[in-house]
Structure 1
Amino acid sequence: MCGNNMSVPLPAIVPAARKATAAVIFLHGLGDTGHGWAEAFAGIRTPHVKYICPHAPIKPVTLNMGMSMPSWFDIIGLQTDAEEDEAGIKQASENIKALIDQEVKNGIPSHRIVLGGFSQGGALSLYTALTTQQKLGGVVALSCWLPLRNSFPQASANSANKEMNVLQCHGEADPLVPVTFGCLTVEKLKTLCNPSNITFKTYPRMPHSACPEEMMDIKEFIEKQLPPI
């Protein structure tokens, strides 16, 4: 496991066009890398924002017959009652918190950092935001679910992000992570955070992917949460 983490390449980064005063840390989905999302953010970039798209370590994934692939944690099943990789999720969350700490050391305060992700990465971004003491600028959760939801609200009782703004998006034609998962997640989030700060958007005919309309909604959200200073 340590060996895997040691061999993870450096994140794909879209640098700010001028001095970076804010950052987005965005986590890709299962089997992917950060490169595609870095390209997507390059298309909607805001000049003072740095976009950091880390790559998950290579791990065996139970859901995919034990094949090794980029994965933040093991996924055992996609049913609502499936067993979850609690140790893996918590370890991955600590790694993301360390990444946030690194940006703080680089001079960007945590409240000027938006955390986000797609699918498995979105699940991890939600879990991390709800369990960290780092006050974040917001969360973008795409086509995902809330992992270890039964261990909340204990884990989030002391969260610094009860008032954070959340943009949650989901395709209505998603065959992998059904939109009902998104609906269940948003209802749970409303019990953990200020409900008026949670926005849930769905996109007709969108499968388990992104679309231009969604990317523009993300751009608008980031610009609102991370204005120039």
Structure 2
Amino acid sequence: MLHTMVDEPTGHHSATLIFLHGSGGAGVTVRSWIQECFARIGDEEGLQFKHIKVIYPTATPQPYTLTGGEPSNVWFDRVALQLEAQEARKSTDKMLEMLAELIQVEIDAGIPPSRIIIGGFSMGGSMSFHIGYRKRLDLGGIFAMSSFLYDDSAVYPDLKELKKKNSDVTMPELFMTHGTQDELVLFQWGRKTFEKLKELGVKGRFHASNQTHLIRSEELVLLKKWVLEKLPSNLISKL
């Protein structure tokens, strides 16, 4: 089971948001950075809601090729940070199952899949593509910030096969942001990923910003607005 940091809703829990950190990060650190970003613009509430539980999991440490094989908190291994590199599917699929278990816990607690959104920053966003378009097409949405998929990613053929079996299958809406000045995960990688998913029937929004490889307040404001659009409160106010 993954270690998690959780912000419980202040009111009735009717939806869940899962935010995955980038490579080498942790749930507690990405949560702290998000809070700081919102505080800078005077939004002390940030990603804390009356009806949405927010979960920040931490990836289980595993050997990471890009750090010389040393253990790191990563959602999957990477042999290279290039669009044409091979996807490390064994480690990806292992973490896919662990995150699916985390989602199932929420479903077992009474939260419908359509009221669950998962996404993340950088590698966290990349992992979310696998969850939403290979494992749980019934989720309420997928978001990715400064993320991409390899050209040979299993997401593309798996999604194509799912659509072949069921042409009427619905897929989670996608929300993506990417900085045009990103020096680590190039802007064109993220844009290409979005366009390839779009060709396979995924509907969504892609926001470009004049930023580097970092979560920024402006992107979080857009994300928060989208989350509340997808997961509105289902509580009926009494007049």
Out of 11, 24, 33, the residue aligned to residue 18 of structure 1 is: 11
Q: Is the 8 A contact 1:24 1:115 kept in 2?
A: yes
**If the length of structure 2 is used for normalisation, what is the TM-score?**
0.85
Q: Which amino acid aligns with 1:131?
A: R
1:223 pairs with one of 216, 220, 228: 228
RMSD of equivalent CA atoms = 1.9
The 8 Å contact of residues 162 and 192 in structure 1, kept in 2 or not, is answered as no
Listed as ranges, the matches of 1:82-161 within 5 Å are 82-147=85-150, 149-156=152-159, 157-158=161-162
Structure 2 counterpart SS, 1:213: helix
1:72 and 1:223, CA in 2 relative to 1: closer, same or farther beyond 3 A?
same
- What is the DSSP-based 3-state SS (H/G/I as helix, E as strand, rest coil) of the residue aligned with 2:98? helix
Which residue pairs with 1:202 in the alignment?
208
How many Å separate the matches in 2 of 1:106 and 1:170?
34
Structure 1: which 5+ residue stretches go unaligned? 1-5
Question: Would you identify which runs of 4 or more consecutive aligned residues in structure 1 move more than 3 Å?
Answer: 147-154, 159-163
Instruction: Letter of the 1:51 partner, please give it.
Output: V
Amino acid paired to 2:112: P
CA change 1:21–1:190 in 2 (3 A) is same
- For residue 109 of structure 1, what is the amino acid of its counterpart? P
Q: Which has the higher contact order (CA 8 A, sep 6+)?
A: 2
Which region of structure 1 is more displaced relative to structure 2, 83-92 or 15-24? 83-92
Alignment check: 8 A CA contact 1:26 1:115 kept: yes
1:189 alignment counterpart: 197
Q: Which residue of 1 aligns with 2:20?
A: 27
Tell me the percent identity.
Answer: 31
**Deviation digits for residues 155-209 of structure 1 (CA, Å, limit 9, x no counterpart):** 1132797442111011111111011111111111101234xx31000111x2111
Q: SS of the residue aligned with 1:168? A: strand
8 Å Cα contact 2:133/2:171 also seen in 1: no
Amino acid at match of 2:181: A
Q: Deviations over 1:85-142 (max 9, x none)?
A: 1111111111111111110011111110011011111001011100124511101111
Q: Is the 8 A contact 2:9 2:51 kept in 1?
A: yes
Q: Secondary structure at the match of 2:206?
A: strand
> How far has the Cα of 1:147 moved from its partner?
4.5
Any stretches of 5+ residues in structure 2 without a counterpart? 36-44, 235-239
1:38 paired to 2:46: no
Residues 162 and 146 (structure 1 numbering): CA distance in 2 closer, same or farther, change over 3 Å?
Answer: farther
> Is residue 174 from structure 1 mapped to residue 167 from structure 2 by the alignment?
no
* Aligned position for 1:3: none
Query: Letter of the aligned partner of 2:143 in structure 1?
Result: V
Residues 27 and 116 of structure 1 are in contact (CA less than 8 Å); yes or no, is this contact kept in structure 2?
yes
